[in-house]
Structure 1
Amino acid sequence: MSGFGYRISGGTATRVAVKEALSCHADFVWVHLNTNEEHAQVWLRDEAGLDDYVVDALTASETRPRCEAFGHGALLNLRGRSSEEMSSGDPLASVRIWAIQGRVYSVSRRPLIAVAEVEKQVEGGHVVDPGDLIAAFATAITSDLDPHVADLGDELDDCEERLDANRIFDLRRTVTRVRIAAIGYRRFLSPQRAALEKLGTLPGGWLAEDDRRHLAAAADRAARMAEELESIRERAALMHEALTDLRAEQLDTRSLVISIVAMVFLPLTFITGLYGMNVADLPYAQEPWAFDAIMALCGGIAAVVVGYFVQRHWFQK
Structure 2
Amino acid sequence: MFLLFIFDCDVFFFDCVVNCFYKCDIFQFQKQFLLLFYRNKTRVMTKKMNLRAGKKRKSNKIKKVGMPPGTLMYMGDKQEKPITIDVLSFNDNLVKLQQINSISEAFSFVSEESVTWINVNGLTDIGQINEMGNFTQLHSLLLEDILDTEHRPKLEILDDNLLIIIKMLYEGKDGQLVVEHLALLLGQNYVISLQEVEGEDVFSVLRKRIQNENNTIRKRKSDYLLYGLLDAIVDNYFLVLDKISEQIQQIEHQILANPQEEMIFQIQNLKKEAIALRKTIHPTRELVSKLEKLEHPLISSETHLFLKDLYEHSIHISETLESYRDMLWGLTDTFMGAMSNKMNNVMRLLTLISTIFIPLTFIAGVYGMNFKYMPELEYQWAYPVVLITMFLIGAMMFLYFKSKKWL
TM-score bracket for the superposition, by shorter chain length: 0.7 to 0.9
The residue identity in structure 1 corresponding to 2:96 is T
For residue 215 of structure 1, the aligned residue among 282, 307, 311 is: 307
Pick from 302, 324, 327 the counterpart of residue 232 of structure 1.
324
Contact in 2 for aligned 1:193/1:222 (Cα 8 Å)? yes
2:121 corresponds to which residue?
Answer: 34
Describe the superposition over 1:63-120 as per-residue Cα deviations: whole angstroms up to 9, x where unpaired.
33221224432221222333634886x6432321122334432211135532223333
CA contact (8 A) 1:197 1:219 kept: yes
Task: Give the Cα–Cα distance (whole angstroms) in 1 for the partners of residues 92 and 192 of structure 2.
Answer: 20
| Residue matched to 2:182 | 95
Which residue identity is paired with 2:383?
A: F
Q: Is the 8 A contact 1:152 1:178 kept in 2?
A: yes
Unaligned residue ranges in structure 2 (runs of 5+): 1-82
User: In structure 2, do the counterparts of structure 1 residues 68 and 87 end up closer, same or farther at CA, with 3 Å as the change threshold?
Assistant: farther
Aligned to 2:196: 109
Q: Could you tell me which amino acid in structure 2 is paired with residue 100 of structure 1?
A: G
Question: Which residue number corresponds to residue 257 of structure 2?
Answer: 166
Q: Aligned pair in 2 of structure 1 residues 86, 97: CA closer, same or farther (>3 Å)?
A: farther
Which amino acid in the other structure matches residue 136 of structure 1? G
Q: Does 1:23 align with 2:115?
A: no
Aligned to 1:199: 291
Contact between 1:7 and 1:21, CA under 8 Å: does it hold in 2? no
Q: Alignment identity in percent?
A: 15
1:62 deviates by 1.1
The 5 Å alignment of 1:117-196 reads: 117-124=205-212, 126=217, 129-150=221-242, 152-153=244-245, 165-169=256-260, 176=267, 181-196=273-288
Q: How much has 1:48 moved relative to structure 2? A: 5.0
After TM superposition, the score normalised by the length of structure 2 is 0.62
Task: Choose from 238, 261, 265 the match for 2:353.
Answer: 261
Structure possessing the higher relative contact order (Cα contacts under 8 Å, 6 or more residues apart):
1
What is the letter of the counterpart of residue 166 of structure 1? A
Residue 139 of structure 2 corresponds to 51
Judging changes above 3 Å, is the alpha-carbon distance between structure 1 residues 21 and 8 closer, same or farther for their aligned structure 2 residues?
farther
Deviates more, 1:298-307 or 1:231-240: 298-307
The residue type paired with residue 51 of structure 1 is H
Code of the aligned partner of 1:96 = A
The size of the alignment, in residue pairs, is 310
1:5 pairs with one of 49, 65, 87: 87
Conserved? CA contact 1:9–1:26, under 8 Å: no
User: Does the residue aligned with 2:259 lie in a helix, a strand or coil?
Assistant: helix
SS in 2 for 1:114: coil
Counterpart contact for 1:118–1:133, Cα < 8 Å: no
Matched, 1:244 2:244: no
Deviation at 1:290, TM superposition (A): 3.5
Q: Separation in 1 of the partners of 2:170 and 2:229? A: 14
Q: Deviations over 1:2-40 (max 9, x none)?
A: 231234577644222242312355234432111142x2x
Residues 171 and 240 in structure 2, CA contact (< 8 A), matched pair in contact too: no
1: distance between equivalents of 2:321 and 2:97? 38
Check whether the contact 2:110–2:189 (CA below 8 A) recurs between aligned residues.
Answer: no
Equivalent AA in structure 2 for residue 92 of structure 1: V
Q: CA deviation at 1:272?
A: 4.0
Match of 1:168, SS state, is: coil
Query: Which range moves more in the overlay, 115-124 or 146-155?
Result: 146-155
Residue deviations 1:224-250 (CA, integer Å, cap 9, x gap): 121122223223433443343233223
Cα separation, 2, equivalents of 1:171 and 1:147: 26
**Structure 1: segments with no counterpart, 5+ residues:** none
